[in-house]
Amino acid sequence: MTAALLESAGGMAATCAVVFFAGLAHGLSGFGFPLISTPTVALFSEVRAAVLITVVPNIALNVVSAASGAGWRENLRRHWAMPLWVLIGSAVGTQVAIWAPANVLRLLLAAMIVVYLEQGRLRLIDWSVIQRHPDATGCVMGLLGGFLSGTVNVMLPPILIYFSALNLPGLAMTQVMNACFLVGKVSQATVFAVQGLLTWHLVLLGIPVTLVALAGFWIGIKLRPRIPPDLFKRLIRVVLWIMAGLLAWQVMRG
């Protein structure tokens, strides 16, 4: 089903349109490609297919993003443990995604989008435990983020909560989170390949999708100084609320 979607002209065009917009958003904000691309592709396929289709462009974007900006080596050296926990959690989550019912994955994806959208309320919770026990909470948040990445491609909520509680500067946070996304996607791709789901045929079909995503990312970087951040955030919030609602509606419709 996954390869068939990209083999059809309509499926390839729709997928490329989605990843271009997601890449554009990623270039404007520094992250967000899987948060937008996965639920949108899942609307005309399945969550598993959406994860498989976007795994290669995800890896490409994360490689570029993780190495962007000054001081990225030092930031990754200082927070090396988080990508490790994400890698382990993603391997477990991908195994779950392989056998989990499609509607369960849709509901989990919709729920994670809502959690991300309501992160402002989550920040009202006392997260001082993270500052008191950064190593232990980093392990928990990293494993949880990796698990969510492996199942529905959305690891951002727990990782964002963790680094925000540590008051990590914006550039460093973006670099480390993209490193987490990268190792999570590599772990995910490895599990899919071992299970025979990520084939060379699918990787080749994903090359034009990846190029379109990178084009959107590059344009997003160029447009970043010209687009007010608040306007962009409001637009993305509207899109994500619509995506979460449509995913839930699909489950209820059966």
Q: What are the pLDDT tens digits along the chain (254 aa)?
A: 677 888 899 999 999 999 999 999 888 876 778 888 999 999 888 888 888 898 889 888 877 766 555 566 777 778 788 889 999 999 999 999 999 998 999 999 999 999 988 887 887 788 889 999 999 999 999 999 999 999 998 888 898 889 888 888 877 787 788 788 888 888 999 999 999 988 898 989 989 999 999 999 999 989 888 888 778 788 888 988 999 999 999 998 86
Q: 138 vs 2, 67, 79, 82, 131, CA distance in Å?
A: 34, 22, 10, 6, 10
Closest CA to 23 of 65, 51, 53, 78: 65
Q: Rg of the chain over CA atoms, in angstroms?
A: 17
Q: What is the DSSP letter of 124?
A: T
Note the helical H segments in 67-199.
72-78, 81-99, 102-117, 119-122, 128-132, 134-152, 156-165, 170-194
- Check: CB of residue 96 under 8 Å from CB of residue 151: yes
- What one-letter code names the amino acid at 38? T
Residues 108-122 have pLDDT tens digits of: 999 999 998 888 788
Determine whether 196 is exposed, middle or buried from the number of CB atoms within 10 Å of its CB (0-12, 13-18, 19+): exposed
What mean pLDDT, rounded, does the chain reach?
87
**Among 40, 49, 47, which residue's Cα sits nearest to residue 16?**
40
DSSP letter, residue 141: H
The reported pTM is: 0.85
Largest CA distance in the chain: 54
